[in-house]
Amino acid sequence: MAEAATAARPRRWEGLDRATPVWLLAAAALVGLILMPLGWLAYMSVRSDGGLTAAHYVRVLGDPPLQKALWNTVVLALWSGLMALVIGAPLAWLTARTDLPFRRSIQSLVMASFVTPPFLGAFAWVMLAGPNAGYLNRLYRELTGAVDPLLNIFSMPGLIFVVAIYTFPYVYIMIANTLGLIASDLEDAAGILGAGRFQVARTITLPMVLPAILSGFILAVLQALALFGSPAILALPAGFHTVTTQLWSFFQYPPRVELAAAFSMPLLLATALLLLVQKRLLGRRGYAAVGGKGGQRRVVALGRWRHPALGVCLAVLAAAVFLPYGILLKAAFSRAWAQPLTWDNFTLDNWSFTFLSVTTRSAIVNTLELGVLTACVGAALATLLAYVTNRRLVAGHQVLGFLAVAPVVIPGVVLAVALFVAYTRPPFLLYGTLWILFLAYLTKEMPVGYSQSDATLRGIHPELEEAGRILGAGRFRVLREITAPLARSGIIATWCFVFIGVIRELSASIILFSPNTKVMSVVIFDLKEEGQFGAIAVLGVFMLVMTFVIVAVMQRLLGRDVMGGRQAGGAG
C-alpha cells in the first residue's frame, strides 16, 4: 500500500483557511484605531522644537495644582468605585437570587440609571442639592427651619455620590450576569449543611462571584477616572480640578497639547495596571456552556427582610432615577426652575426654544447618525475580535484581546487629544467632519463592546462550531448559522451598549466637535455654560426618551432581558 500511486498532496489553496485574511483585517483595524493615536500621544509628550525632551513631564508632575488634580482624581475614582460596589453588589444579589418583590422592575430601573449620562445626572443633582436653591435643601429648610443646607453637591463627596450612582450599574451587570450562571445546587449543598441564607451568600456565592465583583469594581473605577462632565459641573464651581477637567483646560487657547499628552501618562499607566489585574481575575475561568444543561436556579427567600431590602433598592433608585428625572421634567416645563411649578411658572417656551434652534436639531441628527453607525460597526468589529481571540485564530491573539480593551485606559479627553493630533494633518484630514467623532466613539466604546462579546462567546462551547465545520460548513457559515444565533442576545446587548455609550459621550466630543458637527451632549454642555437650565432639561429629557425608545425596541426584538438574565427552561 505504501508503494501505491503517489498520494495526492493538497493544493496550496485547498489547505488555506479562507477566513484568515478577514481576521487579519480586523486585527489591523484594531491596531490602527488604537496604536496610532496612542503612538502620537506618546510622541507628543516628549516632543519639543529641539528634539525629544522630558521637560513636559517635569512640568506637569512637579506643578502643585496639577498634583492636586491628580490626587483629587485618585480620591474620586477609588471612593466612587467603592460606593458603586456597595450599591451594586447587594442590589445584584437581591434581584438575581432572592424573592425580592418587583425584581424585574428594579432591574429595568437600574438599566435606566445605566443609560443616564452622568453629566445629566450631575446637572439634575445641582437642581436637587445645590446648597441654596436645591430642591431637597429647600424642603429640608422648610421642614426643620435650619439655615445651613443639608447637602452641598458642589463638593468632593457630592461628586463621588453622583459618579457612584451612575457607575454602579457596571458592577451590577457584571455580578447579576455571573449569579445567573451559577447553579443553585452549589448553594443548596451549603444550605443542607445548616448554613443560613446570608451565610450561604457570604461563604458560597460570594467567593464564586468574587472575580466578577472585583472586575466590576475595577470597571467602575475606570469609568470614574475618565469622567469629564460630572467634575466639570460639580468640581469646577467648588474650585477644584480633576485630571480630565485639567486636561480640557489645557486646550483653551493657546492649546498646550504637549503638556496635555504628558499629563495623560500617569492616568494611562494606572489604568493599564488596573486592566491587567482585571484580566488575571477573569482569565482563568472556563466557560459555562450555553448549549448544555444549565443548573437550576432557585431563589433565596428573604422572609422578614423582604420589605427593608425593597426599601434599600428604592432608595438607590430614587437617588439615581426618580429624583433626577423628576426635577428634569419639572425644569423642562418651568420658566424659573427653582420656583415651584405653579400655573404661572408653567411654560412650553423651553421646548419651542430648544427645538426651533437649528443647532439643536442638527445636533440631534448628528447624534443619531453617529450612534447607529458606531453601534453597527462596533458590534460587528467587537464580535469578530472576540471570536478571533476566543478561538485563538491568529498568533498573538492575547495581544489583540488586550488591545481591544486598552482604550479603557485612555480617558475620553486624552483620546480626543490623540485623535486630534493624528487626524488633523494630511493625509487623514478628518477634523471638522463627523468621521473624527466616529473614530473617537468607535475606539472609546470598543472595550465595552468587546467585553460583552467576549463574555457572550465564552459561553458558546467551541464544539458547537466544530460540529458544524466537520459536517461541511466553512468558518463564516458556522459563524452565521451557529454562533451568531446563539450569540444573538449578546450581540444585541453589545449594540445597545455601544449605542448608549455614544449618545452620552461628552469628554471626547467636547474637544473634537466643530460648530457644524455638534452632538447633543456638547449642546447640553454649552447650554450649561450659559446657565440655560430650562433648555438643558428639555434636551436631557429628550435624550433619555430617545435612549429608552431604542432600548425598548431592542428588548422587543430580542424577546428577553438585554442585561443578560436568562429565560427559564428550554430551547432557542
Partner 1 sequence: MPGIAIASLTKRFGDVGAVNQLDLEVRPGELVALLGPSGCGKTTTLRLVAGFLTPEGGEIRVGDRVLSSPTVVVPPERRRMAMIFQSYALWPHMTVAQNVGYGLRFAGVGRADRDRRVDEMLRAVQLAGYGARYPGELSGGQQQRVAVARALVVEPEILLLDEPLSNLDASLREEMRFEIRRLHERFSITTLYVTHDQAEAMVISDRVAVLRDGRVAQIGPPAELFERPRTRFVAEFVGKTNLIDAIADGPGWVRRGGLRLRVPGEALAPSAASSTPPATPVVVSIRPHQIALGPRGAIADASGSVLAGTVVRASYLGDAVDYQVALDGSDVVLRIAGPAPARVGPGQAVSVVVPAAACVLLPAGD
Partner 2 sequence: MTHHRLVSLLLALAMALLAVEARAQDPRLEAARKEGKVVWYTSLALTSSEKVAKLFETAYPGVKVEVHRTGSQRILQRMMQELQANIKNVDVVHTSDAGHYVLLKEKQLLMRYTPAGVDRFAPGFKDKDGFHYGLRATVNVIAYNTQKVSAAEAPRTWKDLLDPKWRGKLVTAHPGYSGVIATHVLALVHLHGWDYFKALAQNKPMLVQSAVDPSGVVASGERPVAVDGGDYTFYQVKKKGNPVEIVYPKEGVPLVVSPSAITSFAPHPNAAKLFTDFIFSKDVQQVLADTEGLYSGNPQVTYPSDKPRLSDLKLLSVDAEELEKRNEEIKTRFVEFFGA
Which residues of this chain interact with partner 2, rule CB under 8 A? Answer: 65, 130-134, 154, 235-241, 245, 249, 251-255, 335-338, 353, 357-359, 424-425, 429, 431-432, 514-516, 526-527, 529-533
Q: How far is the CB of 489 from partner 1 (least distance, A)?
A: 11
Burial call 426-453: b when 16+ CB within 10 Å, e when fewer: eeeebbeebbbbbbbbbbbbbbbbbbbb
Please choose which of partner 2, partner 1, none residue 155 contacts, taking the beta carbon within 5 to 8 angstroms, the exact cut-off set by kind.
Answer: none
User: Does residue 465 contact residue 398 with C-beta atoms inside 8 Å?
Assistant: no
Residue 290 touches partner 1, criterion: CB under 8 A: yes
Residue 304 touches partner 1, criterion: CB under 8 A: no
Which member of 25, 285, 315, 463 binds partner 1 (CB under 8 A)? 463
Would you say 14 or 148 has its CB closer to partner 1?
14
Alpha-carbon gap, residue 251 to 508, rounded angstroms? 12
Would you say 254 or 472 has its CB closer to partner 1?
472
CB within 8 A of 255, min separation 6: which ones?
none
User: Does residue 191 contact residue 298 with C-beta atoms inside 8 Å?
Assistant: no
Q: In sequence order, what are the beta bridge partners of 300?
A: 98
Alpha-carbon gap, residue 347 to 194, rounded angstroms? 62
Which member of 59, 306, 397, 461 binds partner 1 (CB under 8 A)? 461
Would you say 92 or 478 has its CB closer to partner 1?
478
Site for partner 1 in 10-39 (CB under 8 A): 10, 12, 14-15, 17
Q: How far is the CB of 254 from partner 1 (least distance, A)?
A: 55
Would you say 3 or 148 has its CB closer to partner 2?
148
Q: How far is the CB of 70 from partner 2 (least distance, A)?
A: 14
User: Does residue 278 contact residue 218 with C-beta atoms inside 8 Å?
Assistant: yes
User: Does residue 432 contact residue 515 with C-beta atoms inside 8 Å?
Assistant: no
CA angle (58 as vertex; 52, 62 as ends), nearest 5 = 170
Would you say 344 or 463 has its CB closer to partner 1?
463
Residue 5 touches partner 1, criterion: CB under 8 A: yes
Would you say 184 or 362 has its CB closer to partner 2?
362
Which member of 143, 358, 471, 568 binds partner 1 (CB under 8 A)? 471
Amino acid letter, residue 341: L
Residue 283 touches partner 1, criterion: CB under 8 A: no
Residue 427 touches partner 1, criterion: CB under 8 A: no
Cell of 63: 506643578
Nearest to 448 by CA among 58, 28, 115: 115
Please choose which of partner 2, partner 1, none residue 516 contacts, taking the beta carbon within 5 to 8 angstroms, the exact cut-off set by kind.
Answer: partner 2
Alpha-carbon gap, residue 273 to 266, rounded angstroms? 11
Question: What is the β-pairing status of strands 51-52 and 428-429?
Answer: unpaired
Alpha-carbon gap, residue 498 to 211, rounded angstroms? 24
First to last CA, the chain: 49
Q: How far is the CB of 19 from partner 1 (least distance, A)?
A: 9
| DSSP one-letter code for 198 | H
Cell of 298: 432557585
Would you say 344 or 481 has its CB closer to partner 1?
481
Would you say 19 or 314 has its CB closer to partner 1?
19
Q: How far is the CB of 116 from partner 2 (least distance, A)?
A: 22
Residue 485 touches partner 1, criterion: CB under 8 A: yes
Residues that bind partner 1 (CB under 8 A): 1, 4-5, 7-10, 12, 14-15, 17, 289-292, 461, 463-464, 466-475, 482, 485-486, 569-572
